[in-house]
Every structure is written in C-alpha cells, then in structure tokens.
Chains A and B, each alone.
Chain A
C-alpha cells in the first residue's frame, strides 16, 4: 500500500478470533509491513498506522471525518476516555505527539470492525498515560481481536493474551504470553524478547524433563524438550528477574547456585541491573532498596541462585 518498503511481504498472520495478539519484535523486523499486509488483505478490519497524521483544521475533524452518526459519537467517547476530549477544538497539528496518537487511536477504536490492527499505539504515549491507553485498547478489543504491534516488552506484559515474535518478516513463535515469554523456543527468540541470560553449552546429563548443561566452568540445571539429548549443543536461557542475589551461601531449593563477584552495576529506570561473574556472566535485576540492603558494589562477593524450572535449554541455532 505504501511504496518504498523493502521488507518481504510476510505470510498471513494466524489471528485468533478473540483477544489481544501482540506482534513483538525488534526494529526492522517487518512488524509494520506485516500489519499493512493484514490491512490490505483482510476484510472487516480497522487500522491504526504506526505514524500519526492529523488533517488540517481542528483535531475533531481528524477524529470524525467521514464517520456516520453512531461511529462519530463513539469516537468522541473514546477520545474522552483516552483523555483528549478537551484538545479536539485545537488545531490538530498543534497537539503533542501523544495527543495526536490518541486522537488517531480513538477514531480506530470507534470502528465496528471485528479486527483492530494497531501499529505501535503506545509509541509516543507518556508513561503516565500508558495504563489509560492499554485499558482502552483492552476494553475496545472485548468481543473481537486486537492485533497490536510493539517492540516494548512491557506492552506484551500489560496487554497481550497472545504474542507472536517476528524476526526478519517471519513469525518465529506464536502462543500464549507465558508460554512464549517464559519458554522461548529458540535462542533467537530469547534474545528478541529480552531474556537477558543466554549461555551456550553442551548437555552433560539428562534426567526426565531436566538436563544439566556445561557452560564453560559452570554447570546449569535446566528444563529441556524431548528432542534434546546428551551431548547436544544448546543455549540455556533465563530472565534477569528470575535470578536471586544473596551475600551468604544459604541453602535454597534452587538447583543453580553459584558464587561470584559483581562485575558491573547499571541503573535501569527504577531497577538495578547487576552482572555477576560466576565463571560466566549472569545478569540479575534487583531493586535499589535491595541494593542498599545488600550493600553491593563493584567487586562485592555474592551468590546467585536460579531455579532449574526457570531455565530453559533449547537447541542451539
């Protein structure tokens, strides 16, 4: 529809009949191309493009032009719910990026279409307004399906009932959020969805659904799929939020328990990211309060623990 895009046209996206499918992937993965393709090939869809546009004149014109009486009333109601009702008399192009996006979104949410295609609906929205927009999208998607493009993991966590991970125009994995986010099917997917710890090694032991993976000097207990066997080269993955940090070598139920030293401390918004060298780098996130309580700084000796069930071994790509 819009010329100049070099990304390949993807195959049709399996869109569930109900719920909120978040298409997740890095920049340039082809998410917008996929959504445009869906818009061009499906019927009964409403589409919010990635880039906002306000028509000349008052914002109300962009919100309602060409709509019927009922849709117009619904669009005005969504504008009110999205917190932009009092901007509608102003010149559309004088609105902030976030306000423009919400006016565009209100128009789309007012549609009767069975499928809502929303490309980065939260991209220019302030953090304080994100909850409002998320709740509105969730409400609008009731009884139909919203396909939402995002490259922010928070959007997946806050909105998705189902997630599709897209890389290079190909859906690598699609399923319920917990399944995809906590059990990525491959190393590539893990990296895309932001599983901070991805270590490579070979399976040194296998027991039922679990395995032990030798990653350099460290052995890691992990869940495995049936296809993996002794000696297979695998990637083991676990999120930074699953890593427990302590100062003493206390006994825990965690099968993975290693001592090491803090290599780096980075403040990430309201959290602190630690990189602990246990022979391999292990990334953990803790709160500033926990950092103060533990008095950790670069070079501090700590222990890190990860439950084996939170670690997943997948075949190395």
Chain B
C-alpha cells in the first residue's frame, strides 16, 4: 500500500511540478497526432471511397492487404522508416531523422490503412438504392465523392476516431524514428516509457492519465458528432 501511495503522491507531484515541460509534451503529442490523422484522412478517405465503390480484378487481394495493414506492427513501421531516413539510407538526404516530421510520417503510415479500410467497408456497405441513386445523378467525380462521404459520415467519424486513437497511443514507431529527445520529439507515450525505465512510476502514471484524458476528450467530441450525424441523417 505504501508503494502505491508513494506512486500516487509522485504522480501528483509530477503534475504540479512539471508544468511547462508537461504542457510542451502534451502540445507536441496533440499536434503530431492531429497532423498524422489529417494526413491519413487525406490519403485514406479518397482511396477508401474508391476501393469501396470500384469493382476491379484483384480487389479482394487489395482489401486483404489493406486489412492486414490495419494491424501493422508499429515497431516494424518505425524500423523500416528508420532505415529509410537513416543518414546513409536511401532517404537520408531529407535529414528528417529524430524530428517530429518523421514521427508524423510514421503515424500516417499506421493510421492510413485504418481509415482507408473502414471507409471502404462503410462505402461498400451502402445499400443498393443509394448506389443506384448516385449513379443516376450523372454528376462529376468530385460531387459523387462528396455524396459518398456525407452518406457514410457517422462511420467515417468512427474511422477517424479509430485512426486518431491508434496514433496518439502509439509508441514503438515514434520512439524509433523520433528518438524521444526532450523538448523536440518527446511525446506522451515516449515520455511514459522514459519515466518507466527510470522507475519513476508516479510520473509515468501521471503522463498516462493525461494521455487518457486527451483520448477521452477527442473521442467524446467525435462520438458526439457521430451520434449527431446518425440522428440528423
């Protein structure tokens, strides 16, 4: 009990005593997660709509690959990216190793298959009358895309929430390519690892609670929008 009480006291002390550092880590975590989710939306939604609606030879194979990519091991993604952007690697001249940029890229790679796959599933499951109506509209591809997106809006928000959840909670890839540099690439998850390694469990738990709070606020907002979308159908 004493041990747990001590951890709790340490956690409160950490929150109270590391204001500026915690805010910096929190802000970095949020902007990297938002940037990565935005990137995954930009790539995943159009491709998801296309995959959901287009019938072509090999579609099942592509779907299988996308579904598999939804479960990509973050450490593997981080490792491959690390090799690519290593100073002597094929993309070494970009000089982005241990920067937030490469952390965003890593998380985009992890979140895109999730948003793509869930979007494709939602658009592919649209009822036949909806699909026939869209075909009968005889409008341009952009309008069709807009219609499909709005028709699956609640499911799309669920996909975005899932993608955001994946990136904000991810540690393996960002630790490898970001390096957990204080003040530069340290985010909540890597900070938790750092504190845990140094047996500062109270601080780690405090950071975990903040991470959970961010996830809660984000998902509460997205879920509210999702439910509103379903209700307003």
Contact = CB atoms under 8 A, between A and B. Distances in A.
Interface stretch (A47-55, A141-149, A228-236): A47-55
A293 interface: no
Nearest to B144: A66
Top 4 nearest A-B pairs (CB, nearest first) are A66-B139, A53-B133, A51-B129, A66-B143
A93 interface: yes
Interface string A40-75: 000000111101110111000000011100000000
Secondary structure dominating the interface of A:
loop
Contacts of B146: 65
A7 B146 CA distance: 32
Contacts of A67: 139
Given A56-B232, A56-B233, A93-B233, A39 B131 contact: no
A122 B30 CA distance: 54
B132 A55 contact: no
Contacts of A65: 137, 139, 143, 146-147
B128 A56 contact: no
A49 B129 contact: yes
Interface of B: 55, 128-133, 135-140, 143, 146-147, 150-151, 153, 229, 232-233
Contacts of A55: 133, 147, 150-151
Nearest to B136: A47
14 contacts: A1-B132, A2-B128, A2-B131, A4-B128, A49-B133, A49-B136, A55-B151, A56-B232, A57-B232, A65-B137, A65-B143, A66-B137, A66-B140, A66-B143
Interface of A: 1-4, 36, 39, 46-49, 51-53, 55-57, 65-67, 91, 93, 104, 107-108, 111
A39 B136 contact: yes
Given A47-B138, A56-B229, 10 more contacts: A4-B128, A39-B135, A46-B138, A47-B136, A55-B147, A56-B232, A65-B143, A65-B146, A107-B137, A111-B138
B151 A56 contact: yes
Nearest to B231: A91
B194 to A, nearest CB: 46
A1 B140 CA distance: 17
A3 B55 CA distance: 10
In this complex, which of A3, A48, A55, A108 has the most chain B Cβ atoms within 10 angstroms of its Cβ? A55
A1 B232 CA distance: 29
Contact of B129 (A52, A66, A91, A108): A52
B167 to A, nearest CB: 28
Contacts of A104: 133
